[in-house]
Amino acid sequence: MTQNTPNSTVHILNPTGGSAAILVCEHASCFFPDKLNHLGLQPADRTSHAAWDPGALGVATQMAKRLDATLISSGVSRLVYDCNRPPSAPDAMRSRSELIEIPGNKNLSRQQKQDRTQRYYEPFRAAVAARVSAAQSPIIVTVHSFTPIYFGEPRAVEIGVLHDDDSRLADAMLQTAADHTSMNVQRNDPYGPDDGVTHTLREHALPAGHLNVMLEIRNDLIKNEFQQTAVGDMIAQWLVSATQLTEAKGLVLCVA
């Protein structure tokens, strides 16, 4: 079941899911609202990894099914507003991404930035906050993908397990990784907290001490539905076994 807010800038799948896990996919979409004229981007750029995390929503959706978890995802491109950034971050509405210029984000006025923030970030932030506060002992898991080649350099890491100050769940996942996957799994790679990528964790998990982790999957490994389903199933089971190593071991994650 999907529940959308009136303007559909946030999508909520399985809102009453029984799992302790709450899944968040900030970069799920490459949708551009009509009024923004695609931010002046060429068609190829609008569907490139600059605009979204290809494959991440498919993986997260499968995890939600496996775990009976709620999944909250953004319904707009991260170039419209990057829901994994606070409004104060310079890259919340970036005007340049890796090799792409984003004409529609250049010289935004304070009012334009506020409008975008209120329209696209606030409903997302509020949806995650509401779901987290409705849960007894939520475990917050954010799901992302990254490009295999960045600024011309190939990346060897295949799954990044990222964390901020609270590494409990990330430590447990790294400890149990080899039981679940032969992929190259690394800590805080290809990004880490110093890159400003842990906003959702800092906003929704750290202040209340909720277990949390951010997962980054190399997007060439989750290109199609078959791969996304397989990786989603694998990570769901991996999360369950990792959680057993934490103080939350009594919590139900509901693997079907």
DSSP 23: E
Helical residues (DSSP H) of the chain, grouped into ranges = 43-46, 56-67, 110-116, 122-134, 168-180, 199-204, 225-243
Query: Is residue 53 at the binding interface for Zn ion, with CB under 5 A as the rule?
Result: yes
Name which of 176 and 228 has its Cβ closer to Zn ion. 228
Contact letters for Zn ion, residues 129-168 (x by CB under 5 A)? ---------------x------------------------
Among 14, 19, 27, 77, interactor with Zn ion by CB under 5 A: 27
Stretch 173-232 residues interacting with Zn ion (CB under 5 A): none
- 69/66 Cα distance (integer angstroms): 8
Tell me the window of 20-28, 94-102, 180-188, 200-208 that interacts with Zn ion (CB under 5 A): 20-28
Closest CA to 160 of 113, 136, 132, 192: 192
Q: In whole angstroms, how large is the CA radius of gyration of the chain?
A: 17
Q: For residue 130, give the amino acid letter.
A: A
Number of residues that bind Zn ion (CB under 5 A): 3
Query: Is residue 85 at the binding interface for Zn ion, with CB under 5 A as the rule?
Result: no
Which residue has the closest beta carbon to Zn ion?
A: 144
CB 1 to Zn ion: min, Å: 25
What count of residues does the chain have?
256
Contacts to Zn ion by CB under 5 A? 27, 53, 144
